[in-house]
Structure 1
Amino acid sequence: MQVEIWSDVMCPFCYIGKRNFEAAFEKFTNAKNIEVSWKSFQLDPTLPEKEELDHEQYLIERKGFSKEQVKGMLNHVAQTAKNAGLNYHFDKVITVNSFNAHRLIQMAKTKGLDDAAEEQLFKAYFTDGKDIADKATLTELGKAIGLIEQEVNEALTNEIYAAKVNRDIDEAQQIGVRGVPFFVFDRRYAVSGAQPPEAFTQTLEKAFSEWREKNPEPPFELTEGPSCTPDGHCG
């Protein structure tokens, strides 16, 4: 069964939502039958690749909050993150466009490393104060999850990966995603926002139960080897 997660690496609740989902997923007895994939979303595609405003100034000048509102909001989010086992340092955040980061995630996804890429980018942005639009930083983060420099360069220059990012964003609009994180279970159920682990557990169990009815387990233990399928694939 598929679980798809629309997310932006500059979204503080997306990292919290990831942790809460993981807490539920670790205890889910049928986790081996779940395929989790990450989808791109941009909260602010107008941001430049070079920081012009620090995070507080960005929220004040671009989002229209007062200084007092921003301080209260960031303190609340930092505490929520801490409750999920995360350390946010908003004073170190470099507020830049996340498109390059999403291109890296799309490359990582082709290797089955999209979850690892999300983790590295969230930590880089919210905890370590790294520039997630910078090629050198993205190369460092890509290597940390097992990509090689050539693959990172490919992600940042080949328009295939930009198209993949835009396709995810377009798909989000089509299915009605208005904010992230947004979790979709078997294209039947959705959880919006950084819900507590219990909400993810309930939805996982419900969605999987219905999926299992339509996809029963084989009545035997399977040992696989080279074979051919009707679609012409042999290997």
Structure 2
Amino acid sequence: MKTLKIDLVSDIACPWCAIGYARLQQALSSLPELQTELEWHAFELNPDKNAPQEPILPALSRKYGRSEDDMRAAQANMMQIAADLELNFSKMQQRFTCNTFDAHRLVKWAATHDKATAMKLALFAAYFGEAKDVSDAAILANCAEQAGLDKTEAQRILASDDFSSIVKEDIAKYQQAGISSVPAFIINNRYLISGAQEPAQLAASLQQIANEMA
């Protein structure tokens, strides 16, 4: 049985990253003959820790040069896509911008307990489903607990600099590799699949890569 190594570059604040992972799971369910090893990697859409938080719709409107009504419609479309994938995006239009560096630190810590995906999914649910501030230490610790991790240990890590260097190295590595948008799926350190592609298209790409393996 062939094994694909998938490095998934994403940010907790990116709705397409949550959608992309859900679509990946659907794609893989149609390829039972493939085994995969998934590793999450950090990317920051809002890298300035000192930037004031602001409501998402006007923030996106300014960033993309489109009206708030346009952004609201785009978000509503994503909410429907998410619902079809059984993702909770019910409060994505009520969220605020935020820096996700500490959240990425917890994902790296969770990986040492084989719970990185559970941590990531808890963060997605908190941010898009509940509009919670995923830069807040108390909320992050609660997400860790929901992911099956020790809340007290999460609080200790958040109060320290643990895993900061590995997150910084992660971000720098993929910036230098030319990754400027997420999600980005890097397969076997060789192939790049960009964006949250439809499950069938993603499955076809993964199958083609597997077929090319010796």
TM-score under structure 2 length normalisation: 0.89
Unaligned runs of 5+ in 2: none
Superposition RMSD on alpha carbons, in Å? 2.0
Instruction: Name which of structure 1's ranges 37-46 and 60-69 shifts more when overlaid on structure 2.
Output: 60-69
Distance in 1 between the 2:44 and 2:195 partners? 15
The 3-state SS of whatever aligns with 1:65 is: coil
Conserved in 2, the CA contact under 8 Å of 1:107 and 1:151? Answer: no
- 2:169 pairs with 1:180: no
Deviation track 1:111-135 (CA, whole Å, cap 9, x = no partner) reads 1111111111111100112121111
Counterpart code for 1:60: S
1:74 aligns to what?
75
1:30 aligned to which of 26, 29, 33 = 33
Shift of 1:185: 0.7
Shift of 1:62: 4.8
Distance in 1 between the 2:201 and 2:146 partners? 32
Shift of 1:47: 5.3
Distance in 2 between the 1:161 and 1:65 partners? 37
Larger-gyration structure (1/2): 1
The count of residues paired between Structure 1 and Structure 2 equals: 210
Conserved in 1, the CA contact under 8 Å of 2:72 and 2:93? Answer: no
Map 1:31-70; keep pairs closer than 5 Å. Answer: 31=34, 33-46=35-48, 48=50, 52-70=53-71
Deviation track 1:152-207 (CA, whole Å, cap 9, x = no partner) reads 13432443411111111111112211100000110121210010011221222222
The 3-state SS of whatever aligns with 1:34 is: strand
Counterpart code for 1:133: S
Counterpart code for 1:70: M
- 2:132 pairs with 1:130: yes
2:10 aligns to what?
7
Shift of 1:103: 0.9
TM-score under structure 1 length normalisation: 0.81
1:224 aligns to what?
none
2:24 aligns to what?
21
Distance in 2 between the 1:47 and 1:193 partners? 26
Distance in 1 between the 2:92 and 2:18 partners? 14
Conserved in 2, the CA contact under 8 Å of 1:184 and 1:191? Answer: yes
Conserved in 2, the CA contact under 8 Å of 1:188 and 1:207? Answer: no
Conserved in 1, the CA contact under 8 Å of 2:46 and 2:97? Answer: no
Conserved in 2, the CA contact under 8 Å of 1:48 and 1:96? Answer: no
Map 1:82-101; keep pairs closer than 5 Å. Answer: 82-88=83-89, 89-101=91-103
**Structure 1 residues 203 and 155: alpha-carbon distance in aligned structure 2, compared to 1, 3 A threshold:** farther
Shift of 1:44: 1.6
1:153 aligns to what?
155
Distance in 2 between the 1:91 and 1:59 partners? 11
Distance in 2 between the 1:160 and 1:206 partners? 39
Counterpart code for 2:40: W
Unaligned runs of 5+ in 1: 214-235
Distance in 2 between the 1:6 and 1:63 partners? 22
Distance in 2 between the 1:52 and 1:182 partners? 26
